[in-house]
Amino acid sequence: MQRQTTIIKPQDIERKWYVVDATNIPLGRLASNVAKVLTGKAKPTYQPNIDTGDYVIIINATKVLLTGNKLNNKNYYNVSGYLGGLRTRSAKVMLKDYPVEMVERAVWGMLPKGRLGRRMYKKLHVYAGDKHNNDAQKPEVLVIK
């Protein structure tokens, strides 16, 4: 008996909304689990060439956990392109002043690069506090251990 592969069409994809509380969850574990949901790898209809993923809302980005001595040793870099245009910020500064950017960078690093990855990245919504403005979508709670 020969099996047929089912190809899902982009208009047939059902997307859900999930909300994740980042309180005391290690940053890498949070990012990898969220990237799995954004890409759709947790679904049986996953296809690597089609964006089958769901929407994810991350709240409490300021309370994300960094293990070890990463607060002092881990650095984030930006380059303007000009001479001497390298800006370096430690993880402590990022967590205090730019927690949303820190979580977004971690998730972005685990998504595929290119057009498809940019489309997946647009389904991520990160908030520093515990309030978000996506209640109309009725998100389900996604538990990350």
pLDDT in tens, 100-115: 999 999 999 999 999 9
Local confidence band at 4 (pLDDT 50, 70, 90 cut-offs): confident
126, 100 Cβ separation under 8 angstroms = yes
Residues 55-83, mean pLDDT to the nearest whole number? 97
- Mapped onto helix, strand or coil, the DSSP state of residue 40 is coil
Q: Write down the domain spans for the chain.
A: 16-141
What percent of the chain has pLDDT above 70?
100
Q: Out of 4-8, 35-39, 118-122, which region has the weakest mean confidence (pLDDT)?
A: 4-8
What span, in angstroms and rounded, lies between the C-alpha atoms of 90 and 10? 41
CA-atom Rg of the chain in angstroms:
17
Please list the residues that pair with 75 across neighbouring strands.
90
Structure tokens at 93: 């500064």
Contact 76, 89 (CB under 8 A): yes
Instruction: Give the orientation angle of helix 27-39 with respect to helix 99-108, to 10 degrees.
Output: 60
pTM: 0.92
The CATH code of domain 16-141 reads 3.90.1180.10
What's the CA gap between 26 and 15, in Å, rounded? 26
Q: Is residue 1 predicted with pLDDT exceeding 80? A: no
Joined together, the tokens standing for residue 58 give 């991350």
Element (H, E) at 20: strand 17-21
* pLDDT tens digits for range 124-145: 999 999 999 999 999 999 999 8
Q: Which pLDDT belongs to residue 3?
A: 79
Please give the pLDDT value at position 7: 87
